[in-house]
């Protein structure tokens, strides 16, 4: 019965006497080791099992003598051909009727398949880990490149903005120079005609003074663009700015042949801004209106009013020009969009004006009707 049981087992079973010789083995043991059943009989277990640094056999013996059962110790079986086969060993004592130790039963399970599975799994894990590492490295290099591209884009955008702003300054200098040229012309004509210069100079000098201020401030602005610092702002009544700009443009002969309606608010409307920059916006809007009306008769209205809640000031510049086609209403705020000939328009007036208003926390918007006219509205916090 005992023999039949061990014969039926798929694991190698070896029964040893207390001297360590094999007294019984099953076919599975014979298969694994390559020894015949006969050859195995009386074979010392030392020939069959490796006992290297772990001293397994001694441990087996000692523990089994102590009555322990040995479970799943890793060891090696040596085949007849000398091959080492990894096994997981379980051992238990065989006791005689009187309770003395008569032998040991060893069950050795061939773990090559499991080992191979483990090795394969380890290789798979290693491959996966290295793939993950590669992926991570690739990802971080892509992220680095993205970051670099982003920085370059930001830089390019900043350069473009600086270019736009510098262009805006040039644009304003050109506008303002026209005022100076007109004033100088007027004086030269008066001198040539032998007119009384006193009255003329009295009216023209303040304009020239403002022109000088503009040129100085815009020179400053260019320097600021090269090395940005805060814009100097101060509280100022928007009514006064509008009045002065209109006077300046009149002086420059920009508003001849036009009806002009200026509707200022009765109360002072203080805004904290850089005066020159607000003048720049107004000059741009009014010159645009004049250009739009062209040679035809027309009217420009400018209003300055507090908004209902009193916290903001709104300025409107309205003309009776030809209006702007609906599909171009967005485009006019893009830098360099112009419908004017190259020598007279750069397309920077509106984008720069909007930039300025937005920098103060307001906005510049347009509404227009073809054939009827156009209105630009901007607001500033009080
Ligand atoms: N009041 C207006 N009526 C009709 N079209 C306008 C008016 N204001 C602006 N536009 C249109 O918007 C375009 C862009 O205006 P913007 O002030 O930005 O540049 P520009 O006047 O063409 O050139 P720049 O101001 O540089 O001399 C104009 O070319 C014009 O087509
Ligand atoms: Mg313009």
Within a domain: 371: yes
pLDDT tens readout for residues 60-114? 666 666 666 667 678 888 999 999 998 888 888 888 888 888 888 889 998 888 8
Count of CB atoms within 10 A of residue 18's CB? 15
Domain count, the chain: 2
Of 52, 87, 115, which residue constitutes the final position of a domain?
Answer: 115
- Which sign does the torsion angle of CA 14, 17, 21, 24 carry? negative
Q: What is the 3-state secondary structure (H, E, C) of 123-189?
A: HHHHHHHHHHHHHHHHHHHHHHHHHHHHHHHHHHHHHHHHHHHHHHHHHHHHHHHHHHHHHHHHHHH
Please identify, by atom number, the ligand 1 atom nearest to the C-alpha of residue 287: 21
- CATH code for the domain of 47: 3.30.450.20
pLDDT tens readout for residues 43-52? 988 888 876 6
Ligand closest to Cα of 336 equals 1
The model carries a pTM of 0.53
pLDDT tens readout for residues 223-276? 766 665 566 789 999 999 999 888 777 766 778 889 999 999 999 999 999 887
CA distances from 306 to 57, 127, 260, 261, 266 (A): 102, 72, 21, 18, 10
Within a domain: 258: yes
Of 66, 84, 115, which residue constitutes the final position of a domain?
Answer: 115
Order of strands, sheet of 22-25, starting from the edge strand that comes earlier in the sequence: 22-25, 12-17, 101-110, 84-95, 70-78
- Cα separation, 119 vs 112, whole angstroms: 10
From ligand 1's centre to the CA of 207, what distance in Å?
25
Please name the residue whose Cα sits nearest to atom 28 of ligand 1. 338
Within a domain: 93: yes
Please determine, for residue 36, whether its predicted confidence score (pLDDT) is greater than 80.
yes
Within a domain: 278: yes
Which residue pairs from 185-194 have beta carbons closer than 8 angstroms and sit at least 24 positions apart in sequence? none
From ligand 2's centre to the CA of 281, what distance in Å?
10
Q: Which domain does 317 fall in, by range?
A: 231-381
Please name the residue whose Cα sits nearest to atom 3 of ligand 1. 292
Same domain? For 376 and 237 the reply is: yes
**Ligand 2 ion: nearby residues, β-carbon < 5 Å:** 288, 349
Of 82, 115, 148, which residue constitutes the final position of a domain?
Answer: 115
Ligand closest to Cα of 171 equals 1
Within a domain: 174: no
- CATH code for the domain of 295: 3.30.565.10
Within a domain: 53: yes
From ligand 1's centre to the CA of 174, what distance in Å?
15
Please identify, by atom number, the ligand 1 atom nearest to the C-alpha of residue 171: 26
Within a domain: 110: yes
Within a domain: 202: no
Ligand 1 interacting residues, C-beta cut-off 6 A: 171, 284, 288-289, 292, 319, 321, 324, 332, 337-340, 345-350, 374
The closest alpha carbon to 324, from 338, 336, 342, 309, belongs to 338
């Amino acid at each position: 019965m005992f023999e039949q049981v061990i014969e039926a087992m798929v694991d190698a079973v070896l029964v040893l006497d207390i001297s360590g010789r094999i007294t019984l083995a099953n076919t599975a043991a014979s298969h694994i080791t390559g020894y015949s059943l006969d050859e195995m009989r009386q074979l010392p277990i030392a020939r069959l099992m490796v006992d290297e640094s772990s001293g397994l056999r001694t441990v087996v013996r000692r523990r089994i003598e102590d009555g322990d059962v040995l479970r799943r110790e890793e060891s090696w079986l040596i085949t007849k051909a000398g091959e080492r086969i990894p096994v997981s060993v379980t051992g238990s004592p065989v006791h005689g009727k009187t309770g003395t130790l008569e032998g040991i039963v060893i069950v050795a399970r061939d773990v090559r398949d499991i080992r191979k599975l483990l090795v394969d799994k380890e290789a798979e894990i290693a491959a996966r880990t290295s793939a993950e590492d590669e992926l991570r490295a690739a990802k971080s290099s892509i992220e680095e490149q993205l970051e670099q591209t982003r920085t370059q884009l930001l830089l390019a955008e900043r350069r473009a903005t600086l270019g736009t702003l510098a262009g805006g300054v040039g644009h304003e200098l050109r506008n303002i120079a026209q005022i100076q040229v007109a004033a100088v012309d007027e004086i030269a004509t008066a001198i040539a005609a032998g007119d009384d210069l006193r009255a003329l100079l009295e009216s023209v000098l303040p304009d020239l003074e403002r022109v000088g201020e503009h040129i100085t401030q815009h020179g400053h602005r260019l320097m600021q663009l090269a090395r940005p610092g805060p814009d100097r702002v101060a509280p100022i009544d928007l009514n006064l700015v509008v009045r002065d700009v209109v006077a300046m443009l009149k002086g420059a002969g920009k508003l001849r042949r036009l009806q002009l309606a200026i509707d200022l608010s009765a109360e002072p409307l203080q805004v904290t801004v850089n005066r020159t920059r607000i003048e720049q916006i107004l000059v741009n809007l009014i010159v645009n209106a004049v250009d739009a009306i062209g040679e035809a008769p027309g009217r420009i209205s400018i209003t300055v009013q507090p908004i209902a809640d009193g916290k903001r000031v709104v300025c409107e510049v309205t003309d009776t020009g030809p209006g702007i086609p609906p599909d171009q209403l967005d485009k006019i705020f893009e830098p360099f969009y112009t419908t004017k000939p190259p020598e007279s328009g750069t397309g920077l007036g509106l984008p720069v004006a909007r930039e300025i208003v937005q920098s103060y926390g307001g906005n510049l918007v347009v509404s227009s009707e073809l054939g009827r006219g156009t209105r630009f509205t901007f607001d500033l916090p009080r």
